[in-house]
Amino acid sequence: MTFIVYYGMTEIGKYNNLKIVKKVDFGFYLDGGEEGEILLPRRYAEENTSVGNTIKVFIYKDSEDRIIAVTDEPYAVVGDFAFLKVVDVNKTGAFLDWGLPKDLLLPYAEQDSSIMTGSSYVVRVIFDTKSQRIIASQKLHRYFISDTAELKKEEKKELLIYEKTELGFRAVIDNAYTGMLYKNEIFRPIEIGLRLKGYIKDIRDDGKIDLTLLQIGERAVQAAADSILAALKSQEGVIHIGDNSSPEEIAGLFKISKKSFKRAIGQLYKKRLISIEEKRIILR
């Protein structure tokens, strides 16, 4: 989730720091600038809240389409990609649970798949200027940044898995870009909606981004070697996996490819830290 707090202006669908200007029986009014005074219902106010205080609030429209302030934190704000659950579907569209009393609308015009109540989908939270409402969109491709000049190979990134393809899985990168995780380089369970760390493996000439879940280069070898040593120490100096073990066995235990495994144990062997047998490794 993006935790950006805006000062000096009111942003609907985002966090704002607003000054309390009036107290009433049912809550407090905040200075919303051009939006006018915005109600903070009493249930969201702390005991020591008083006129003159500046507080962090989330601004959105309630079920009666009034702009209000809350201290609840939604699962996502405007500009975020998020994996949200459908709680209802009707003639207007689908309604998603985003952590606030009023559910988030996913209009039919913003859907690109069959939506089912109880299922979850990756969406982008947007402010629709036409309707002046916060809504969700499945048209994710509209919102990815195409200019990759700010990205570098081997950078560690936050990923959100949003689509499965024949090649692997597509992921949102740092809430801004899109990239591909190829299935022959995935050594752990992956599913849509999963958030995890990854690395930029390559940025192609056409701007497409290849991703990997493994560290690249010598850092990856060292990380794998450290993992193998930790496993040896936790299992009394012996692990029953070795130079002739299958790629599946290696991936199941260490979440790395056999090539990476062999490089790692080769490094440990050169340092005289282990002995290598066909089906086991022994800590010296």
Domain ranges of the chain: 5-70, 81-141, 146-212, 218-283
Average pLDDT over residues 19-42: 92
Average pLDDT over residues 176-192: 91
CATH of region 81-141:
2.40.50.140
Average pLDDT over residues 70-77: 95
- H or E element that contains 266: helix 258-270
Q: How do strand 37-41 and strand 133-137 relate by DSSP bridges? A: unpaired
Torsion of CA 232, 235, 239, 240, to 10 degrees: 180
Q: Is the pLDDT score of 204 beyond 70?
A: yes
- CATH topology identical between 5-70 and 218-283: no
Class of domain 5-70: mainly beta
Give the span between the Cα atoms of 159 and 176, in whole angstroms: 10
Average pLDDT over residues 37-58: 91
Q: How do strand 15-24 and strand 67-70 relate by DSSP bridges? A: unpaired
Q: Is the pLDDT score of 7 beyond 60?
A: no
Q: Is the pLDDT score of 220 beyond 80?
A: no
84 is written with which tokens? 């949200």
The topology (CATH level 3) of 146-212 is OB fold (Dihydrolipoamide Acetyltransferase, E2P) (2.40.50)
Give the span between the Cα atoms of 21 and 151, in whole angstroms: 44
pLDDT digits (tens, 9 = 90+) for 247-279: 888 888 887 788 888 888 888 888 889 888 878
Q: Average model confidence (pLDDT) for the chain?
A: 90
Residue 120: burial class (beta carbons within 10 Å; 0-12, 13-18, 19+):
middle
The topology (CATH level 3) of 218-283 is Arc Repressor Mutant, subunit A (1.10.10)
Reported as a pLDDT band with limits 50, 70 and 90, residue 222 is confident
pLDDT digits (tens, 9 = 90+) for 108-164: 999 998 999 999 999 999 999 998 899 999 999 999 999 999 999 989 999 999 999
Compute how many other C-beta atoms are within 10 angstroms of the C-beta atom of residue 237.
Answer: 12
Q: 271 by DSSP, 3-state: which?
A: coil
Q: How do strand 5-6 and strand 15-24 relate by DSSP bridges? A: parallel
